[in-house]
Amino acid sequence: MRTTTFKIEGMRCDGCADTIKNMLTVQPGVRAASVSFNDGEARVLYDPEAVAEEQLAVLIEKPGFRVLARA
């Protein structure tokens, strides 16, 4: 398991954070996700053998958000 924190631009409310969280949690290989509108970030626990970090970034950006950094 690996945890990555994505710094996200474009969230305007808690609903945006919920949208990202819902998209991440249904992705195969993702075990847990928490998204904070206030902090502008998503923290994702995932299995790197099932899903790549880059795939998660693409998923976050799909509805129009932008990943600024990963840690």
The pLDDT score that the predictor gives to residue 17 is: 97
- The structural domain count of the chain equals 1
What CATH number should be reported for the domain holding residue 58? 3.30.70.100
DSSP designation for 48: T
What's 45's DSSP letter?
E
Which residues is 7 bridged to in the sheet?
A: 41, 69
> Tokens standing for 42?
């998503």
Helix axes 53-61, 14-25, angle to 10 degrees: 140
Q: Which domain holds residue 55?
A: 2-70
Which tens digits make up the pLDDT trace of 21-59? 999 999 999 999 999 999 999 999 999 999 999 999 999
Tokens of 1: 């398991």
φ, ψ of residue 19 in degrees (nearest 5): -60, -50
